[in-house]
A and B are shown apart, each in its own frame.
Chain A
């Protein structure tokens, strides 16, 4: 099963790259993601009873990675459908050659495969290799439109993320060094490291964990190495923004969660908690203040991604199973909501020709379907019931105060309130107001977004069928 999971996007990617451009190439991509999602569902079901393993245990699916697989599959499917529309438009206007369209299709599959490998790998150095591979693959995707802004964004993206991720590699090496001085064999296997951690040298683990948070934090969009994020997310094609914001950030965050278990097992929770609190709060401050000043809706969504990653970081700082259950639910909710919003924003940009908030007016009157979906997506993102973000934000705040971090819970609530105000005003500008002429978007755009919102509401109301998996995953994460 695990081999099938990895092979699906890899083979699809190779076919897309090698076969001359045909109209079915993007549809093949959609089929591939359907396959990934289906296999992920089976693996998630199995993970509750007996984790699947492959390659002598170097790839494995426990409940935590199963949950990540589902997020990758679901948001990936959304983005693959969005990709069909994006390539159609680009080719129709001759803004990209068929060669570039094939490259786009192939790279998206490579991107998915790299993220799958990140969450499947047991070896934390292989996990690092996979995260770095996502950077390389997405750089071309960010710059796919070949405008000056897009090329600038991809340059900044690869330079800043490569530097950041290099720090995470140094951290990983230091954990390896620490493990080789515990008496046991030197290892990079996650479970072995957690087991050996109590014998590790504290100073080395402290240094390693700081480097890992700073390094992977660059990819997560945590302050201070976040400056690539708003540029890349606003310049990339909409489906790529959806994937990067909805899943890639969460996948990088997953890497921090895995390394956190090792650090907690070695040092106890104090140092780890302080480190994560500092990064989470710093990120929230940067994100909220920049978000309030935004005039561009795609950049506003990008800063909102940072805000949500900051919240996840605070949840990880609390570190209880309850907190991680909220963190995992929040990852799912944020991934789907951001997928919907970036695809919706891409469509708005396509139809209105501007990404400035002030230039877009009366969307609900003029384009009721698209405007309505965008409005519901915003409601989901801002944590209004019945969507699942409501439940997960509530859970996060509660678990923070239960973990003795009431002041942090207060700050998080204040940030949420500010964001609510800060995003409602521009949303009102864009959505409300009079408008003439009614235009509809193709069903290809509306249907998947509507379905994603439906899933969000379903998960928000009954938590079925994910609750078992979330609790099992949270237990693994909180180890």
Chain B
């Protein structure tokens, strides 16, 4: 195991999982957006480190792309919504903060248990970090379930997406470039659509809390 690539890789992965937990911890929407941005940077660095190690210029390029899109472009898109329509904080989450953090810890353990077979199959130094990717995904799900603000839901969705991307980078030498481009474009467009919808919800119908969305039911 060469220290030269494993240490920066470990660090970058730790950044991703810690920022995922941070989005659960901090109630201020601005703070959780900052965490999301840092998470995107961490994810980009993971790809770049792996690319440098495998002497794969395409993967390094993908890393730069991820860093720009997920570290800068997407958080900036959402921050406009926060600045304009949704100032302030997550109201009262369904589960309080300490309990959420315990939940995140349990989900991380679950991720370790669920991926044992996969880690053993791939057996590279990068692969032993796969549980963190899966844990990030699960924490994203958890955030979407317990948070009620539109922006928090978008952050949760992006955390899920980052977790899956992290898993993909660690488990393979990166998917083909055309797939990566398509996926990035989809994510970017989805966030743009969500931003518009969040604006409608707030300005046209004055909906702050997604629990107010109960017009449609059986």
Q: How many angstroms between the C-alpha atoms of A186 and B182 in the bound complex? A: 19
Greatest chain A CB density within 10 A among B150, B157, B168 is at B168
Are the CB atoms of A166 and B121 closer together than 8 Å? no
CB nearest neighbor in B for A231: B216
Are the CB atoms of B118 and A158 closer together than 8 Å? no
Q: Is the interface of A mostly helix, strand, loop or mixed?
A: helix
Given that A166-B161, A186-B172 are known contacts, is A135 also in contact with B179, CB under 8 Å in the complex? no
What number of A-B contacts does a CB cutoff of 8 Å give? 123
Q: Closest CB-CB distance, A235 to chain B, in whole Å?
A: 7
Q: Mark A269-294, 1 if CB is under 8 A from B, else 0.
A: 00000000000000000000010011
Given that A132-B186, A136-B186, A290-B218 are known contacts, is A151 also in contact with B197, CB under 8 Å in the complex? yes
Given that A129-B179, A149-B215 are known contacts, is A163 also in contact with B200, CB under 8 Å in the complex? no
Q: Which of B167-211 contact A (CB under 8 A)?
A: 167-168, 171-173, 175-176, 178-179, 182-183, 185-186, 189-190, 193-194, 196-197, 200-201, 204-205, 210
Given that A139-B197, A230-B218 are known contacts, is A159 also in contact with B167, CB under 8 Å in the complex? no
- B79 contacts chain A at the CB level, 8 A cutoff: no
Are the CB atoms of B157 and A173 closer together than 8 Å? no
Are the CB atoms of B179 and A136 closer together than 8 Å? no
Q: Closest CB-CB distance, B159 to chain A, in whole Å?
A: 10
Are the CB atoms of B182 and A126 closer together than 8 Å? yes
A-side residues, CB < 8 A to B, are 123, 125-126, 128-129, 132-133, 135-136, 139-140, 143, 146, 148-149, 151-156, 158-159, 162-163, 166, 169-170, 173-174, 176-177, 180-181, 186, 188, 201, 203-204, 207, 230-231, 234-235, 290, 293-294, 299
Are the CB atoms of B201 and A163 closer together than 8 Å? no
- B117 contacts chain A at the CB level, 8 A cutoff: yes
- B164 contacts chain A at the CB level, 8 A cutoff: yes
Residues of B within 8 A of A234 (CB): 216
> Which of the residues B122, B193, B215 comes within 8 Å of A136, measured between beta carbons?
B193
> Which of the residues B150, B172, B193, B194 comes within 8 Å of A173, measured between beta carbons?
B172
B-side residues, CB < 8 A to A, are 117-118, 121-122, 137, 141, 144, 150, 153, 157, 160-161, 164, 167-168, 171-173, 175-176, 178-179, 182-183, 185-186, 189-190, 193-194, 196-197, 200-201, 204-205, 210, 213, 215-216, 218
Residues of B within 8 A of A235 (CB): 216
CB nearest neighbor in A for B169: A173
Residues of B within 8 A of A133 (CB): 186, 189
CB nearest neighbor in A for B133: A170
Q: How many angstroms between the C-alpha atoms of A151 and B121 in the bound complex? A: 45
Are the CB atoms of A177 and B171 closer together than 8 Å? yes
Q: How many angstroms between the C-alpha atoms of A181 and B141 in the bound complex? A: 29
Are the CB atoms of B121 and A204 closer together than 8 Å? yes
Q: How many angstroms between the C-alpha atoms of A152 and B212 in the bound complex? A: 10
Residues of B within 8 A of A230 (CB): 216, 218
Q: How many angstroms between the C-alpha atoms of A323 and B197 in the bound complex? A: 42
| Closest CB pairs A-B (n = 6) | A129-B182, A125-B179, A203-B117, A231-B216, A132-B186, A173-B168
